[in-house]
Amino acid sequence: MKNIFLKTAFLSFTFLALASCSSDKESNEEVIVDPPTQDDPLTTQNAANYMVDANATKETIALFYNLKRLAKTKIAIGQQDAFLSFYKNTAGESDIKKATDNDPAIIGSDLSFVTDIRNDGTSSNWFYQQEVKIATQIKKAYAKGIINTVSWHLRGPKNKNYLTDNEEYTFNSSSMFEADKSIFFRSILPGGSRHEWFKGKLDQVAAFSSKLKGTKGELIPIIFRPFHEFDGSWFWWGADFCTPEEYKTAYKFTVDYLKNTKGVHNILYAFSPDRTYSTSTDYLSRYPGDKYVDVLGMDNYGDFDNQGTTGANTANSKLKIISDLAVAKVKIAALTETGYQVTSSNAPINDWFSNYLYSALTSNSIEVSYVMFWNNDENGYYVPNGSVSNDADFKTFSLKSKSALLNSLPKMYVMPK
């Protein structure tokens, strides 16, 4: 996982787009797809039956269906905070667009500032200003036809013995007192001492999600990724700090509370460990169940950290596991976070995008709907910005047959006919 404060802050179906859905050209015409084959259970009529939320908005159901279909032919490519964070702070168009002349197909945001205890909701408050920027990014992306995914680096609940009323832990377990690490996650579960605190945070998530609306007043769908990278222990919700059943309880409560108690119906729910698993049994050890998950993801930086073909093959084998599970469960598979950060002391790797990453995403007939790179910042980049030495490598990657930036992305929020 990459610390957000150090970085700011795709059945053989063919989508035939009658018109491009890009920042430069719009159309009211819909995407046409071939009818499903006999061995595919998913149809335009029953898509909601395979989703967490059977009462999801029509745009959210369309996003689920189209993401599932997309994996047969394309992989949506995007980046965290693509409209907010840039290499060397060169603002303007996203760095992906600077490098390729096309917008990303998916953009990631985070709710850390939205739920921070210091966010008082006033226009002069810095944390609220960040919330507004995040909401603006999501709305801008949706208006262009871009997919939105949202992570949540939730700051830990305060311990009243030594934190002030306006203070919380960070999300990193390394900053917490040892005595607290074993109790904080358990304390947010039903019946725990901080359960009401956690419900308050979910109230903020619900309020934020419900304010995300398009120009016609429709709710903007988001892919929500709570408690990610849980198989590691760098976050206070990590494997060292809760049992598999405790993790499942927290995840299930999160979904049930947002969907049933708060009536939020514009969310797809993503389950995304880090790369530590090697079998489907490992991957599913903390899986809350099909009724609670829409997206089967994986965050993976380590296998791509200058590991060459060996690392790419290892990553592909892990993606194959979730791809097979997604086919069996009728879910979406994704590489929810990845990247190789280039800095002044970390040189680019030749053909990293066009060879190693692309092979990991496409070998062995896997079906991955999207891949998201972490965000660029002043000191380094995960995606070239058109003025660095590996621009050509990324451009080659973006032009490969299964790669999709926004210019080759179908209409994701309209159910095809």
What are the residue numbers of the active site? 229, 337
Contact of 224 with 270, CB cutoff 8 Å: yes
What long-range pairs does 354-359 form, CB within 8 A, spacing at least 24?
A: 354/393, 354/394, 354/396, 354/397, 354/400, 355/312, 356/304, 356/308, 356/309, 356/311, 356/312, 357/304, 357/312, 357/397, 358/397, 358/400, 358/402, 358/403, 359/309, 359/312, 359/313, 359/316
Cα 374 to Cα 4: distance, rounded to the nearest angstrom: 9
Contact of 119 with 77, CB cutoff 8 Å: no
Which ranges constitute the DSSP H helices of 147-305? Answer: 178-181, 184-187, 195-210, 244-256, 280-283
Query: How many CB atoms lie under 10 A from the CB of residue 136?
Result: 13
- Residue 300 sits at φ, ψ, to 5 deg, of -150, 105
